[in-house]
Structure 1
Amino acid sequence: MTTADRVPVASEADRSAYRAGPVDEQSRARLAEGGLDYRRTSIDGDDFAPWLQSVARGFLDGERTPEQIASSRERSGYRRLTGVYDPAAPVSEAPVATIASWLGELSVPGGAAVPACAISAVTVAPTHRRRGIARAMLEGELRAAADAGIPVAMLTVSESTLYGRYGFAPAAASASWRIETRRAAWIGPRPEGRVDFISRETLRGLAPALHERVRLALAGEIDVPGSHWDGFAGTSPTAEKAGEKRAIQYTDAAGEVRGLALYTVRENHDDFTKASVRVVYLLTDGDDAYAALWRFLLELDLVAEVNADELSVDEPLLWMIADQRAATITLRDHQYVRILDVAAALEVRRYGAPGLIALDVSDALGHAAGRYLLEVDAEGVGRVRAWEGDAPAGAVEVSLGIEELSATYLGGVSLATLAAAGRVRSADAAAAARVLSWHTAPRLSIWY
């Protein structure tokens, strides 16, 4: 049996069944004891607009207009929406807490993807804090994902301290760059091909296929829901300041589009030679496209500073500029991962070295607790089975929580680092780290 047979990509039928599934009964009963109603929200029903307004309030956004509500309704069909309602509240039709999720794919080391439950829109009204609502919702979504046979959950977060208690861990960090263009001086490749301006609509049409071509090679990336591309390109009818975005493409010497970028420019009215650029999105297929687009952005006339977010922690760009001190780089947690099925998750990814690791995994929520033997062959393929009693001869024993195992899953942190931090126990953490390592840093280029 191949890994693909063991963990098939979620079909559209699977996704539809997940969207239509009932809320978790355990969480529903827990919230009902506090007088709260936990139920799914219909995208097509009258309850969608109040749900969306509650999400906007939770993220400190303004009230949504009828046009924005209609646009969001049209673009939300891929998501399962859930709300917690307080019948005693003056506006009882508006949920006091919200959560959304959908079944997608997470790219993992080795050019494969694992089915994953993506979670977003997690809010709790300040009037209803400390009543166990967030816990009930998140544990409910994790149980729903586990019941659907999904090995991994994932999310990007506004508050980074909230999710470790549910087994999530930062698995792919992101880098924000501020580059002084006059100091940087391009010393990178100057590939053949050309960079041209295109319309945002053209970029919107090209981006999905280009992303599909490259995402499996980038651990940490996800399959992007179609409506997100409208948000990036500003092509939805309700997009704000969409006209500020400029779109470019790189075509190689054969005339094939290999790279896309969106950026905005802010003038400096005190000195018109010192405008600043923000790279909204950059997507490349191959080294030539990467070099050509970055060179274009760094050599724009009248621009003194280029800013970009959601970059890798190990960008080749750092070695393409003459003065590395021209770049100020800030790192932060970004893509969070939570393993639900250890065997299924570990067998999808590839590994940096052969070895035998005996994992003793704890999980406060019970989804992934157990003892697992990970055996990796010379090709980097792993097989997992349960073990009892003493670990087999030659196995490196590792004792850790599901949060720590999830942190290592994409290769973004060394197990030896976690051991030095007191988060993992092992007599030979370095040996285990060599197996679990990967040669490229994971990244996620979007928020969701």
Structure 2
Amino acid sequence: MEIRALAPEEADTVRDIRSRAFGPLPDEQWRRRIQIAGSSFDAGRQFAGFEDGEIVATGALHEMTQWWHGRAVSLAGVSAITVAPEERGRGLGRRLMTDLLERCAAFGHPLAMLYPATTRLYRSLGWEHAGAQHHVEISAEALRTVAAERVPVRRAGPQDAAEVAAVIGRAHASGLDCGPVGWTEPRWRAVLADRDYYVHLAEDGFLSYRWADGNNALEVTRLVASSEATLRALWAIVGSGSSVAETVRACVSPMDPVLWMLREREHENVERRQWMLRVVDAPAAIAARGYPEGVSAGVTLTIDDPQRPSNSGHWRLEIENGEGRLEPSAGTPDAVRLGPHGLAALYAGVPVPTLRRSGLLQGGDAGALPAAFAATPFSLDYF
């Protein structure tokens, strides 16, 4: 199988195989997807595997950032992994993912993230479950009672792409968030052009929502703010639809402040969609991540990563003053031992006792690693 990047004019060549993999794609839906993914085609980030001139597999690497304790880390968003139904079982998916992992490194992304349709393939190449996208159902009437003062809010469009990206970035940074991703300005321009979504922009906050369930409900796809006043003002906009909508389905952090603003909170329907993380370049990923102030850690690690040999070896991890570094070190018998799964899970904040009991971390004294990597990772985007 020959794997290569697709040119923008080849975008429609993958429609059939993706329809067979994910379900029919009506013309308007396909047009919208191509419009949003246009910048990734232009950047040579949409790929296909060919045999005898026919496409037998596809995949994409979106250019993104991901916040970890409030710091943005360069990230490859892996998506649209497909293998033609009649070609499955031949190992083409593994060959494609192996190739894309190397391309993640070539693009300079120390991290890669994906939403798995199946866990086995991705785990075999070093990805591990790290966080989830959370959707919670909230009574529209409950949101209507959220007390809010008037804050300047305006409607936003494609011309506001740069400002939207900056406002969202500042909100995640100030909130010390872990897991949510950021898009490039061209991607935001395409997203903001979608008329099915209503978007509002404040100096320090952003809201995107649409009608759902035959206009009996509202779906909030993103609501972030750096201040309490703006957060309340944006949720009040959503709650003002309670005269028509009975429920609001919101994609939020599991610790989103709105859950503590409601007068009544007795029963919640929560849907989780798991995502997986891969550490592509361990020293770069450690250096780019944020860490809690006041936490110091010094631990010797031994990492065994067959798919990314540059991650393997003996390392000294030092974390201090919110900064981290991973440097080559002499091996010691009491080193903490990790494979790529344990490394990804640790990076994402999975507690060290959990990693030990699951066999993903062994040996040594983990010291202050639990406090240094503590996180509740979440995502606001599916891709």
User: What pairs up with 1:126-165 in 2 under 5 angstroms?
Assistant: 126-147=85-106, 149-165=108-124
- Structure 2 CA distance, aligned partners of 1:247 and 1:103? 23
User: What pairs up with 1:257-296 in 2 under 5 angstroms?
Assistant: 257-266=203-212, 275-296=216-237
User: Which residue number in structure 1 is paired with residue 284 of structure 2?
Assistant: 344
Secondary structure at the residue paired with 1:343? helix
The structural deviation recorded for 1:129 is 0.3
Secondary structure at the residue paired with 2:344? helix
Corresponding letter in the other structure for 1:314: M
Kept in 2, the 8 Å contact 1:48–1:73? The answer is: no
Structure 1 residues 341, 178: CA separation in 2 closer, same or farther (over 3 Å shift)?
Answer: same
User: What pairs up with 1:218-237 in 2 under 5 angstroms?
Assistant: 218-230=177-189, 232-233=191-192, 235=193
The structural deviation recorded for 1:178 is 0.5
Structure 1 residues 69, 324: CA separation in 2 closer, same or farther (over 3 Å shift)?
Answer: closer
The structural deviation recorded for 1:374 is 0.6
Kept in 2, the 8 Å contact 1:362–1:369? The answer is: yes
- Structure 2 CA distance, aligned partners of 1:178 and 1:70? 30
Q: Which of 244, 254, 266 is residue 313 of structure 1 equivalent to?
A: 254
Q: Which of 77, 82, 85 is residue 42 of structure 2 equivalent to?
A: 77
Structure 1 residues 194, 374: CA separation in 2 closer, same or farther (over 3 Å shift)?
Answer: same
Kept in 1, the 8 Å contact 2:139–2:248? The answer is: yes
Q: Which of 171, 180, 187 is residue 130 of structure 2 equivalent to?
A: 171
User: What pairs up with 1:204-215 in 2 under 5 angstroms?
Assistant: 206-215=163-172
- Structure 2 CA distance, aligned partners of 1:263 and 1:137? 35
Structure 1 residues 78, 289: CA separation in 2 closer, same or farther (over 3 Å shift)?
Answer: farther
The structural deviation recorded for 1:219 is 3.0
The answer to whether the aligner puts 1:58 opposite 2:21 as a matched pair is yes
- Structure 2 CA distance, aligned partners of 1:232 and 1:402? 34
- Structure 2 CA distance, aligned partners of 1:127 and 1:228? 33
Structure 1 residues 136, 312: CA separation in 2 closer, same or farther (over 3 Å shift)?
Answer: same
User: Which residue number in structure 2 is paired with residue 34 of structure 1?
Assistant: none
Structure 1 residues 385, 38: CA separation in 2 closer, same or farther (over 3 Å shift)?
Answer: closer
Kept in 1, the 8 Å contact 2:143–2:236? The answer is: no
Query: Per-residue displacement from partner, 1:30-86 (whole Å, max 9, x unpaired)?
Result: x3xxxxx43332223xx4321344334332132657966974685431342221223
Kept in 1, the 8 Å contact 2:63–2:184? The answer is: no
Query: Per-residue displacement from partner, 1:223-279 (whole Å, max 9, x unpaired)?
Result: 31344335543x25xxxxx3x4333344xxxxxx3323232234779xxxxx32111
The answer to whether the aligner puts 1:190 opposite 2:148 as a matched pair is yes
Q: Which of 291, 312, 328 is residue 369 of structure 1 equivalent to?
A: 312
Specify every segment of 5 or more residues in structure 2 that has no aligned partner in the other structure, as ranges.
none
The answer to whether the aligner puts 1:443 opposite 2:381 as a matched pair is no
The number of equivalent residue pairs is 375
The structural deviation recorded for 1:161 is 4.5
Q: Which of 34, 43, 47 is residue 8 of structure 2 equivalent to?
A: 43
Structure 1 residues 115, 246: CA separation in 2 closer, same or farther (over 3 Å shift)?
Answer: closer
Report percent identity of matched pairs.
Answer: 23
User: Which residue number in structure 1 is paired with residue 341 of structure 2?
Assistant: 403
Structure 1 residues 113, 67: CA separation in 2 closer, same or farther (over 3 Å shift)?
Answer: closer
Kept in 2, the 8 Å contact 1:210–1:258? The answer is: yes
The structural deviation recorded for 1:205 is 7.3
User: What pairs up with 1:425-440 in 2 under 5 angstroms?
Assistant: 425-426=362-363, 428-429=365-366, 431-438=368-375
Q: What's the TM-score once normalised by structure 2's chain length?
A: 0.84
User: Which residue number in structure 2 is paired with residue 417 of structure 1?
Assistant: 354
User: Which residue number in structure 2 is paired with residue 328 of structure 1?
Assistant: 269
- Structure 1 CA distance, aligned partners of 2:296 and 2:185? 38
User: Which residue number in structure 1 is paired with residue 302 of structure 2?
Assistant: 360
Structure 1 residues 205, 82: CA separation in 2 closer, same or farther (over 3 Å shift)?
Answer: closer
User: Which residue number in structure 2 is paired with residue 12 of structure 1?
Assistant: none
Structure 1 residues 40, 185: CA separation in 2 closer, same or farther (over 3 Å shift)?
Answer: closer
Specify every segment of 5 or more residues in structure 1 that has no aligned partner in the other structure, as ranges.
1-30, 32-36, 237-241, 251-256, 270-274
User: Which residue number in structure 2 is paired with residue 5 of structure 1?
Assistant: none
Kept in 2, the 8 Å contact 1:43–1:73? The answer is: no
Kept in 2, the 8 Å contact 1:374–1:385? The answer is: yes
- Structure 1 CA distance, aligned partners of 2:160 and 2:7? 32
Structure 1 residues 383, 208: CA separation in 2 closer, same or farther (over 3 Å shift)?
Answer: closer
The structural deviation recorded for 1:324 is 1.9
Kept in 1, the 8 Å contact 2:304–2:313? The answer is: yes
Cα root mean square deviation, aligned: 3.2
Q: Which of 246, 251, 254 is residue 198 of structure 2 equivalent to?
A: 246
- Structure 2 CA distance, aligned partners of 1:48 and 1:185? 44
User: What pairs up with 1:2-151 in 2 under 5 angstroms?
Assistant: 31=1, 37-44=2-9, 47-62=10-25, 64=27, 71=35, 74-75=38-39, 76-87=41-52, 92-93=53-54, 95-109=55-69, 111-147=70-106, 149-151=108-110
Structure 1 residues 186, 425: CA separation in 2 closer, same or farther (over 3 Å shift)?
Answer: farther
Secondary structure at the residue paired with 2:208? strand
Secondary structure at the residue paired with 2:181? coil
Structure 1 residues 246, 184: CA separation in 2 closer, same or farther (over 3 Å shift)?
Answer: closer
Indicate the structure (1 or 2) with the bigger Cα radius of gyration: 1
The structural deviation recorded for 1:137 is 1.0
Structure 1 residues 265, 42: CA separation in 2 closer, same or farther (over 3 Å shift)?
Answer: closer
Structure 1 residues 190, 159: CA separation in 2 closer, same or farther (over 3 Å shift)?
Answer: same
